[in-house]
Amino acid sequence: MIKVHQVNLYRTQGRSQRQILDHCDLEVASGERLAIMGESGAGKSTLLHLIAGLEHPDSGHIQVDGDTLEGRTPAQLCQYRKRIGLVFQQFNLLPTLTVADNVLFQHRLNALNNERAVKDTIAAPLGLMPLWDLYPDQLSGGEQQRVAIARALAHQPTLILADEPTGNLDEQTGDEVMALFAQLTRQLGQTLVMVTHSSRVAATLERTLHLRQGRLHD
């Protein structure tokens, strides 16, 4: 499903240039669930951004479902991103919208019309029905994160990219939310790439790779 081939990426920091990704390769099969670990600053978020088409490599190729990301117009990239669900460490919920509207926002933007299914297959398993009409500032951190996860899944993406999604929660809450999240992606048959600091969370997924010196290692 995902093929990252010999990707190089440089960043300018002050007057020097640093190579963040160095001939980086990655293959993820459809339906596979992968954890990526690595030190802070190793380039984990950058790698997810490249797969999401939010940033572009200096050289090398990225393919998702056989389609190459390079050379696409912004409109084509937007179309591509409809297949992807993104979960960031910051929940980025819209404060003036209820839980229901936060979750269904992208579903509606994508002109999908199956709110019942979102409730039954995503919101209810994540325990969101009792919170459905509340606003984000009425929720705990763990509850907000469950809303952010539901929102990322609500437009029925085939690929989920999650960037340290438990980073802001206490360990127990984080692990509970992750267990639910992992279970849900398995049920929905989605491919998952999750950046995490937690080896306990990584152990719940099928494979773990470590990003070190610009490349992924077992």
User: Which stretch, 25-33, 37-45, 134-142, 199-207, contacts ligand ADP (CB under 6 A)?
Assistant: 37-45
> Residue 26 interacts with ligand ADP (CB under 6 A)?
no
Length reported for the chain: 218
> Residue 202 interacts with ligand ADP (CB under 6 A)?
no
Q: C-beta of 98: minimal distance to ligand ADP in Å?
A: 32
193 neighbors 162 (Cβ within 8 angstroms): yes
Per the listing, tokens 């491919």 go with 191
> Residue 196 interacts with Mg ion (CB under 5 A)?
no
188: tokens are: 């929905």
Cα–Cα distances in angstroms (integers) from residue 139 to residues 146, 156, 164, 170, in the given order: 10, 25, 20, 15
Q: Build a one-symbol-per-residue string for 28-67: x at contacts with Mg ion by CB under 5 A, - elsewhere.
A: -----------------x----------------------
Which of ligand ADP, Mg ion, none sits in contact with 198, Cβ below 5 to 8 A by type?
none
Q: Build a one-symbol-per-residue string for 38-77: x at contacts with ligand ADP by CB under 6 A, - elsewhere.
A: x-xxxxxxx-------------------------------
Q: Which is nearer to Mg ion, 45 or 156 (CB)?
A: 45
Rg (CA), the chain: 17
Residues 46, 79, 72, 2, CA torsion sign: positive
Question: Exposure pattern of 73-83 as b/e (b: 16+ CB <10 Å)?
Answer: eeeeeeebbee
Binding site for ligand ADP (CB under 6 A): 11, 13, 20, 38, 40-46
